[in-house]
Structure 1
């Protein structure tokens, strides 16, 4: 039998020429499918053992150095392990409070050894270790909520510190604290300490010189009047000691005024809240603790809020 010799090139050109729309749909589907496949095939972070995530275990030790801060609720610790802070949520990049939360977390934990505390769930769906983070005995997750930089966010069964964090969030909302609950806070004018008026803690009245908080370290051992803005406070749950930090957040504060538990009854209730974000003067002998200048406040006449 005689077989016809078709011109395959002409046939193919004719087919493609009359089916352009159909081919475009096919090519588009292949591209989208590839994006979805490769997007879902990303590597699991090195925080977990190389196994199915349903059986993954966090490999990060409980005491470890923080090497990087990703954002306000995610850090990287020595060994490359990614840690997601439990019980809170902070703004992603591009949202109003992203920079404020990230910067504050850096001040609290970066290049410091921290304690990682587990709840019930070991890792999340992205392979990150789920932990509460403690630095210098302070619950960092809780602190970010107190300062209005994070919101409380709990998912069963991880609710170990739910009551404390939820209470801190309510107080931050009620008092319009921080970027989350007082959006204008980051845009308000910085307090100009030189323009405030004083009636009690003055050189004329006490006979002692006035120095700015960031210059206090030059006058160790001397009785001075120290002035500045209290931007960060802390009431230690262990000792009930109140720390009023001037000009910069702990541990980078210029100067600290300290009220020990035994002297707290002499002061207003919750001085850590009362003096926060105020321009003040304090009087006393300047000492040093852990390389930072401080004054011990024993009576309210040692501190004055400027007007």
Structure 2
């Protein structure tokens, strides 16, 4: 009887250990980083982040091979985001045909790993879902509201 109990307990221990070993660790939450805060940007290097700020410009380079997202108030932190040509179609499609126009002037969050490229902290955009527009860019068009006729 003791032998049977020992075998059963041993199997349960082994089985529960196998189950515990197979559990995935919880995904870490990205660190929210204000792009204007150099200390926060520096502290978040090589971590999963959400860069938050107002986009000053979002344009493709002259060759169309690199998309640069430059933020306001990053004179010190130099934080930015980039995407590459092979992602252009998906990005444009997800943002009404022109990702640059959709992002310029908008307050956004861009998720990804913050890494250093030639002294500039950057997040590489691989998927449109990495970008969240918090506040769209202010309209530059005149209001279409007409005064009520009397």
Q: TM-score, normalised by structure 2?
A: 0.60
Task: Give the corresponding residue for 2:132.
Answer: 304
The within-5 A match list for 1:260-299 is: 260-268=84-92, 269-299=97-127
Question: How many aligned residue pairs are there?
Answer: 102
Task: Give the corresponding residue for 1:4.
Answer: none
Cα RMSD (Å): 2.3
> Are 1:217 and 2:45 counterparts?
no
Task: Give the corresponding residue for 2:142.
Answer: none
**Structure 1 residue 274: deviation in Å?**
1.5
Considering only CA atoms, is the larger Rg found in Structure 1 or Structure 2?
1
**Structure 1 residue 282: deviation in Å?**
0.7
Give the structure, 1 or 2, with the largest relative contact order (CA under 8 Å, sep 6 or more): 2
**Structure 1 residue 253: deviation in Å?**
6.8
Q: 1:296 to 1:239 in 2, by over 3 A?
A: same
Q: Judging by fraction of residues, say which structure has more strand.
A: 2
**Structure 1 residue 211: deviation in Å?**
1.3
| Runs (5+) with no aligned partner, structure 2 | 1-27, 136-150
Q: TM-score, normalised by structure 1?
A: 0.31
**Structure 1 residue 207: deviation in Å?**
2.3
Q: Deviations over 1:119-156 (max 9, x none)?
A: xxxxxxxxxxxxxxxxxxxxxxxxxxxxxxxxxxxxxx
**Aligned to 2:56, which of 221, 231, 234?**
231
Kept in 2: contact 1:246–1:253 (CA 8 A): no
Q: 2-side partners of 1:236 and 1:270: how far apart?
A: 15
Q: 2-side partners of 1:290 and 1:282: how far apart?
A: 20
Q: 2-side partners of 1:265 and 1:219: how far apart?
A: 30
Q: Deviations over 1:149-173 (max 9, x none)?
A: xxxxxxxxxxxxxxxxxxxxxxxxx
Kept in 2: contact 1:247–1:253 (CA 8 A): no
